[in-house]
Amino acid sequence: MRIMGEQSFSMLYPLLTMIQIKPFSRLAVLLFFVLAACAQSPESAARKFTENLAKGNLSEAKKYATEPTGQMLDFAGSIGVMPVDTDFTFIFISKSVEGDQASIIYKSSPDGPEETIDLVKIDGAWKVHMQHRK
Q: pLDDT 10s digit of each residue in the chain, 134 long?
A: 444 444 544 555 555 555 655 555 544 444 444 444 444 799 999 999 999 999 999 999 999 999 999 999 999 888 888 788 888 999 999 999 999 999 999 999 999 999 999 999 999 999 999 986 65
Compute the distance between CA of residue 27 and CA of residue 25 in angstroms, rounded to an integer. Answer: 5
Q: What is the pTM of this model?
A: 0.68
* pLDDT tens figures, 66-103: 999 999 999 988 888 878 888 899 999 999 999 999 99
Domains of the chain with CATH codes? 1-39 (no CATH), 43-128 (3.10.450.50)
pLDDT on residue 97: 97
Q: Looking at the DSSP assignment, which residues form a beta bridge with residue 103?
A: 96, 118
